[in-house]
């Protein structure tokens, strides 16, 4: 780990002390958890991959649309 210094307002430091005592967790750990929460919110979420359709033949755009809609309808009826 890397040591760093932060400046906290007195009231925030007092509340952090109270939380550390109440939870049995060190102030440093509470600060690390807070930083981790902020960083987790700022990361872009991974998207699910789009389905891949292997028909073995070339389709027109209209045929491709119908294949996709058919797949969606099939999945919806299985739920």
Domain coverage including residue 37? 10-42
> Cβ distance 2 to 13 under 8 Å?
no
Assigned domain for 19 exists? yes
Q: Can you give the pLDDT at residue 55?
A: 67
How does pLDDT run across 12-37, given as a tens digit for each residue?
999 999 999 999 999 999 999 999 99
Assigned domain for 34 exists? yes
How far are the Cα atoms of 42, 50, 56, 57, 65 from residue 60, in angstroms, in the given order? Answer: 41, 19, 13, 10, 9
Q: Can you give the pLDDT at residue 32?
A: 96
pTM value > 0.85:
no
Structural domains of the chain, count: 1
């Amino acid at each position: 780990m890397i040591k760093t210094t932060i400046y906290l307002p007195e009231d925030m430091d007092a509340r952090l002390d109270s939380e550390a005592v109440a939870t049995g967790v060190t102030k440093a750990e509470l600060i690390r958890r807070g930083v981790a929460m902020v960083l987790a919110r700022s990361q872009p979420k991974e998207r699910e991959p789009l389905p891949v359709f292997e028909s073995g033949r070339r389709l027109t755009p209209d045929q491709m649309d119908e294949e996709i809609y058919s797949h969606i309808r099939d999945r919806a009826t299985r739920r």
